[in-house]
Chains A and B, each alone.
Chain A
Amino acid sequence: MDAVTPRPADAPQPIEFSGSAGSFFGLAFGNLLLTIITIGIYRFWAKTRVRAYLWERTSFQGEPLEYRGRGIEKLLGALVVLGAVFVPLAIVGMIIAALGSAGDKLLAMLLYLPVYIGLIYLLGVGIYRSQRYIFSRTSWRGIRGGMTSGGWGYGVLYLKMTLLQVVSLGFATPYVTTRVWNARMNDGMFGSLPVAANAEWRPLFRRFIMVWVVALAVYAGIAATVMFGMPDVVAMLKAGSGRPADPEAAKATLAALGRLYGLIFLGGIVIALLMMGYYAAMLRELFGKTRIGTMALSLDVTPLGLIGFYLGNIAIVVFTLGLGVIIMPYRSFGFYARRLSTIGAFDADKLLQTSLAGPVQGDGLADAFDISAF
């Protein structure tokens, strides 16, 4: 009766996550206090402790992950970024400002363009290097992860994809999302096993285009409502930014402004709800088409789950008067960790140590852009 029936090879095996909001809050609150009294310097160690907490409560085949990063690596990373990015950026900014005030407004504007393009490029490099740092500091049974390149090429792809997004007015989103995900994941290694991703944009496109069209319709509807149904708002927009002299007119303007924003807010909610359907499908596609060696991943996320996640976040922040924001890393990480499963055989005996050396310093560039959720 009790003979162990071997698990079918393709049955999803969930990743176990055993963190709790209460114990995480204690850690995060201590981190907050230490960060305040060290005027911010402690944040490198704070983030490291947060990751160590989350990693050691995440298990694969009964064995927890281990986070090996150290706070000082992140401090070093920040210092490198200070010297290599912040100082040159500030100098270029001053030169441009000086040119602008010297009357050459057009030249100054033209010079800002390469600065912003450079920043988008660096953002891409930062995202890649953050993943590289995290992979290299993650180990399981002593086996580390890694990334095969330094991310400079990924920055170019990221820049191109961002420009495509702009040019296509967001139309290319599914293509861009899957393309950059695949590029980033295909450089990953876990021990001797390559990480591989082949997420496709085509299955996502129909759902996306629906959201896109509805969003356009909602905004067109708002514009039409304002134009034909709210003459006072139109009058206010026509009057421009001049301050109305008498208080009655000011009050009327305020009321019109309130209704305009209310309408835009309602439209935003409708679009956000629709977007969740797309977003859930996108996450399922990204994780579902990602493999470590021959083992596939699966993320069980539904639109309702996402809506619950975001509404929960808002409720936590609102009801704690903002303090709850410190447990958001736990919320984000837990959301994924509790829904992630692996499918297929995995032979630990054949998983050998990686030959990739990890970076010496931390993900300073990503920190500068403040992009990592945990």
Chain B
Amino acid sequence: MQRQPNIGPPLKATLHDGTSARAIPVQVSPHGERLVVRGEDDVIGVAIAVLRRGAAVPAGLTLHRTDMPDWRLVLHDVPADGWVHRLPGVGRLTSRAAALYAGVAAALVGVAAIGWFQGPAIIAAAAPLVPHRVTEPIGRGYLVQLGRACEAPAGVAALQRLAVRLTPAKGFAEPVVLTVIDEPVVNALALPGGHVAIFRKLIDEAASPDEVAGVLAHELAHVDRQHPNQALIREMGLSLAARSLGGDIGGVADLTLLLHGTRAAEAEADSDAIVLMRAGHVSPRAIAGFFDRQNKKNNGLLPAALARLGDYGSTHPSDASRAALFRDATVSGTTAAMSDADWQALRSICR
């Protein structure tokens, strides 16, 4: 088992023993498994196994020891080949460091994997734990930024009556507050804390109250499933991680969240909406026509920011497939979603 003995001529070197900055002139020569370091009044043997090759410096080549982190040996003449060149580089990890790296990497991969596969489930479980008194002001904060709220009393009352018709006996997961925003955007969105915003142009473009009822039912379904609250938790976690690893404390101090749904959430909201409309005896057919018309326009008019934020952006199932879903839903015994008087009141809510 004995290796070829490692014997070479003595080499000139300088030792810094790690306890002081003293430069000790030494001669070193390998003997078998050890490096003999001979000073003026001292001789030590160092296991070659603990030696590491460090940086090349003007005076020569630096050697390190894994068992004494402050110990340095500067070799002044480096042989062209031999034991020095077989030493591992100092960057080579010790087994402890390698274990640390592997542990940290495994932990990060594990967290990422849990987030990837179980993230939606964790977030869905966490959302009901955030109390309404926390989410409601956050939603209201977003609502204020969307634009001016329309408050004609007759219109507000009409919209309220429509919401009551679409509300099941058990109520929703959070108390709902409806607001019409005076902006020329064909869109609606559910915000954290039970806030639902409908933009004025959506009401302007709706051909019948049933179409508005369809949109409203979809947003109410989002509220009931707490999708906006889930989005809040998700976006906050993601942007926190990204910003801290990216070194942007200013971004955290001024955290703004993008609320957008996932395709799965939208599909859920669509099928829940049909259930709500069925219970309220409102026909889902009309909303299919609305989607058809929007599909033709291809959403070209939406300002980019609102398109991303709102409920008719890229994360939604295509309007054509949604139209089919609602058109094929059969509901019996339906009546108009709103009375003529209420419909007129709603259409002039912003005046």
Contacts and interface: CB of A to CB of B under 8 A. Distances in A.
Contacts of B137: 97-99, 101-102
Contacts, number: 118
A40 B246 contact: yes
A97 B236 contact: no
Interface residues of A, number: 48
B55 interface: yes
B21 A101 contact: no
A78 B108 CA distance: 13
Contacts of A353: 18-20, 70
A140 B253 contact: no
A142 B71 contact: yes
B9 interface: no
Contacts of A94: 138, 236, 255
Interface string A140-169: 111110000000000000000000000000
B53 to A, nearest CB: 14
Contact of A89 (B21, B104, B253): B253
Question: What is the predominant secondary structure among interface residues of chain B facing chain A?
Answer: mixed
A134 B246 CA distance: 21
Contact of B70 (A62, A86, A143, A369): A143
A39 to B, nearest CB: 8
B207 interface: no
Nearest to B135: A98
Nearest to B193: A98
Given A40-B245, A40-B246, A99-B137, A90 B70 contact: no
B88 interface: no
Nearest to B101: A72
Interface string B91-118: 0000000001100100000000000000
B241 A72 contact: no
Contact of B244 (A81, A97, A102): A81
Interface in B209-264: 236, 240-241, 243-249, 252-255
Contact of B247 (A66, A143, A348, A368): A368
Contacts of A87: 240
Given A59-B58, A82-B241, A87-B240, A101 B144 contact: yes
B236 to A, nearest CB: 6
A143 B20 contact: yes
Contacts of A66: 54-55, 62, 72
Contacts of B58: 59, 62, 64
Nearest to B104: A72
B301 interface: no
Contacts of B72: 66, 141-142
Interface of A: 40-41, 43, 56, 59, 62-64, 66, 68, 72, 75-76, 78, 81-82, 85-87, 89-90, 93-94, 97-102, 115, 119, 139-144, 191, 348-353, 367-370
11 contacts: A62-B59, A66-B54, A66-B62, A78-B245, A81-B244, A82-B241, A82-B244, A94-B138, A119-B249, A139-B70, A351-B20
